[in-house]
Structure 1
C-alpha cells in the first residue's frame, strides 16, 4: 500500500488518470512532496532531471481543481517556451485522460505567438495557466488576465529562471498574486540569490532534497583525453564506433556550439543545433526536427539539459566538460532515463582534472578510453599517469642527491654533472622500488 499511489487518497478520477499514465509507484520526489502539496503547504523541491517532479505537482493540483469557480486557480511558470509547452502537453494529457476537455480549461501563454488572439481567448478565464513569466506578466499588465484568484503558483527550474534573468518577472507576478498563495518551487540548485528570493515569499516551506543519482547502474561514464587534438575530429572518430539512437553533444556556450556544429557539418556529420541564441522560429524548427528524429546528433548548450526535454537520448557527449559538478549531473541526466541504458562520453584536458577529481570523490566511476584505428582502446586514468609523473620527479631528485659535487668549478662542470645525474637516474629506474 505504502509503495503505490493509493497512499495519497486521490479522487477516483485522478486514480484513473494515474493508471492511464501507466505510473506504477511514486518516485522519491513524488512520495515526499505530494502530501504537502495536497494540504496547501509551500514547497521547495530539489531533484535531478527525470525524477518525476512535473507530475509531483500536477497530480495533487488537479486533485484540488474546483470546476464551479471559473477563475485562474493554478499558475505554472517555466524559464523557456519549450519547457512551458512540454508542461502544457502533460496538462492536456491529464485533462484528456480524465475526460474533462470541456470542464478543465488550461491555457499556454508563451512568447512568439499572436498576443491579440491570446487576449481574445482569455476573455473566459482558464483554471490553469502555463507559460513563461514575461508573457504572463505582459497579459496581467494589459489586464487581459488576473492571477489574484490563484491558490497555487509553481516556479519550475528556478535556478535556470535566475540564470536567464526572468526571476524579476516572477517577482512582479507574485506581487500581483494573493499573499497567501501556495508557492511550489523546483530547482536543481539553490544559489544564494535564490535564497534571498525565497525568504521574501516563503514562510516555513517544506524543503525536500533528493540526492542526485550520479552513477545509476544503467549509466556508463567514459573520458577521452583530447591530447591537443581538434574536438570535432575526435567526435567524428567517435561517431564511427558508437551508434547512438540519439546523442546530445554539449558545449560550454552558444559560440562554441555554433563553431562545433559548423565544423562537424564540414566533416560530413549531420547534426542539429539548439541553443538560446537562435531566433524563436529557428529554435522551433530545430526542436521539431529533433522530435521527428531527423538527427542522430544534436549540438547543444546547457539550455537543452534543463530547459528542453528531448526524449530517447542514448548518449551524452561533452565536447567540453562544464566548470561545475551540478552541470555535469544535469547533462548526463538527459540519458539513462526511465530505466533505459545510457552512456556519457567526455573529452577532457589537464584543466579539467579538478572537476573530474571532484566527481570521482562523489562516487562517480570513470573509464578512460581513446579511439585508435576505429576501435575503443582502454587507457590509464589521469591519476595513474599523475602518480607516474610524481615517481619521475622523485627519481630526478634522488639522482641529483647522488651526483658528486666538485669543490673546484672547472669549465663544462654543469654538463658533466647533468651527465652524471642522467646516468644515476637510469640505474635508479631499473630499481623496482622507484618503478612502483
Structure 2
C-alpha cells in the first residue's frame, strides 16, 4: 500500500511543526482523505470506525484555518457524551500547548454535570474553539452567552450515537442559528436511515468518505442462548459460573432495564458495576475510575458504553437483550476483541430477535447455539433449525425434480406419475444424506 506523508498537505508551516511534536509521520487513511477536503472548505460525511485517527483528521485542518486575531467563535466540535467531549478537548489542549508564544488561542469545554452559572461568569470573551455536548452548548446559545453565527466550521462527531441518545434535535436547533455558509463535518461509524433527513438538511453536496480498513482483525465467537421462560439475570448467573472474564460488559436496552438487571445480579452475588446516561456526572466519573482500577468483573450498561465511553480490557460481551438494529449489535460486540485479541460475545435471544439474527447471518455473522446444563456449555439445535430444515427440503425438492424423467408423450395423469417419481427420488436422496 502506498505510504503518504503529512508534508503533502497544503498546511501552514506551524501545523507541520505540531504534527512532528505529536509524533505523527504517516497519515491514517481517513486523515489522508479528510484533511485536504476540510482545507478546501468542503462539507464532509466521513464514515469510519473508532481508532481510525478521525479526531486529528478534523482538528489539524481546522487549527490551520484559525485567525488568531479574531476573538470570536471559529470552530465548534460536538460529541454525544461528556467522556468523548473531554477526550477531544484533551487533544485540542495538547495542540495549543505546542503553539508559539505569539499564537494565543482560547478553547473551552462545555459539558453537562458542571456548574452552568459559574461557566457563564467565567466567559469574559468568546472562545475561538468550542468542544461541547449538545445540551450544554444549546443552553449557552439560548442564554446569549455564546454567539454561534461567527463559526466557520461545525463538527458532529459520532452522529449515529447522537441520534440514538436523542441529541440530533439539539444539534438541529443549533445549526438553525448558525451561518448557512458554515462548513458542516459529520463523522459516524454507521449511517442509519433515520439520520438521512438531518444530513440532507445541513449537508449540501458533501464529500463522502468511507474508510473500511480495520486497524486489526476481529476474532469474535458469537454464542446464542435461548431465554425461553427464564429471566436474563438467572441465565447470566449461570453464564458467570462457566466463564472467568477479565471484564464483561452486559448490555440491556435502556436505563430502567439496566437498573433492574444490576439489582438482580447484585442479589446473585456478582461483582458488578453500572453505567448509563441517567447517572450523574460525579457518579459516572467514580464508576469509570473503579472500572479502570479493575474493581468490577461485570458492568451492566446501555449502548452509551458501546460507543460513548472507552473501556479497556473487555474480554466478554453479554447481550441480556439484543438491540433492535444491526449497527448497535456491531458496536456492542466490537467492545471485545480489540487490538487483535480474541473475544467472546454471548447473546440471550427470544422469538422477537429472529428478524435481527436473520439480518446478521445474511451479513456474514456466524452463531453457535448453546444452553448451560449443570454449569456446563451444551450445544443445542441451531436457533434457525426450522429454516435450515425448510431450506434443505427445498434443495432436495429441486434436486429430485431435476432427476425426474420427462415423458416423451403427454398422457392423462402424467403429472401425478411425475410427482410420485419425484417423491421417490427425494426419499432416496434423504437416505443417502443420512448415511
Distance change in 2, residues 1:308/1:121 (3 Å): same
Q: Which residue of 2 aligns with 1:218?
A: 218
Matched, 1:134 2:135: yes
Q: Which residue of 1 aligns with 2:188?
A: 187
Q: Which residue of 1 aligns with 2:408?
A: none
Unmatched segments (≥5 aa) in structure 2: 395-426
Q: Which residue of 2 aligns with 1:356?
A: 357
Structure 2 Cα separation of the partners of residues 341 and 94 of structure 1: 35
How many angstroms does 1:36 deviate by?
0.5
CA contact 1:273–1:300 (8 Å) conserved in 2? yes
Q: Which residue of 2 aligns with 1:330?
A: 331
Deviations along 1:112-142, whole A, 9 cap, x unmatched?
Answer: 2122221232213222101122222222232
Distance change in 2, residues 1:18/1:373 (3 Å): farther
How many angstroms does 1:378 deviate by?
4.8
Q: Which residue of 1 aligns with 2:308?
A: 307
CA contact 2:218–2:337 (8 Å) conserved in 1? yes
TM-score, normalization by structure 1: 0.79
Distance change in 2, residues 1:434/1:61 (3 Å): same
1:66 aligned counterpart, secondary structure: coil
How many angstroms does 1:317 deviate by?
1.6
CA contact 2:216–2:338 (8 Å) conserved in 1? no
Structure 1 Cα separation of the partners of residues 27 and 393 of structure 2: 54
Structure 1 Cα separation of the partners of residues 197 and 392 of structure 2: 50
CA RMSD of aligned residues (A): 3.5
Aligned length in residues? 402
Structure 1 Cα separation of the partners of residues 102 and 259 of structure 2: 42
Matched, 1:432 2:431: yes
Distance change in 2, residues 1:218/1:203 (3 Å): closer
How many angstroms does 1:193 deviate by?
5.1
Q: Which residue of 1 aligns with 2:273?
A: 272
TM-score, normalization by structure 2: 0.79
How many angstroms does 1:238 deviate by?
3.0
Q: Which residue of 1 aligns with 2:69?
A: 68
Structure 1 Cα separation of the partners of residues 346 and 17 of structure 2: 41
Structure 1 Cα separation of the partners of residues 340 and 6 of structure 2: 20
Structure 2 Cα separation of the partners of residues 334 and 380 of structure 1: 28
Matching of residues 120-269 of structure 1 within 5 Å: 120-192=121-193, 194-211=195-212, 217-226=217-226, 228=228, 229-269=230-270
Q: Which residue of 1 aligns with 2:116?
A: 115
Which is worse superposed, 328-337 or 339-348? 339-348
Unmatched segments (≥5 aa) in structure 1: 394-427
Structure 1 Cα separation of the partners of residues 319 and 193 of structure 2: 27
Deviations along 1:373-424, whole A, 9 cap, x unmatched?
Answer: 555555554345754588899xxxxxxxxxxxxxxxxxxxxxxxxxxxxxxx
CA contact 2:252–2:319 (8 Å) conserved in 1? yes
Distance change in 2, residues 1:221/1:17 (3 Å): farther
Structure 1 Cα separation of the partners of residues 387 and 185 of structure 2: 47
How many angstroms does 1:279 deviate by?
3.8
Deviations along 1:46-98, whole A, 9 cap, x unmatched?
Answer: 23344332232223223333333332211111223232223222322333455
Structure 1 Cα separation of the partners of residues 298 and 36 of structure 2: 41
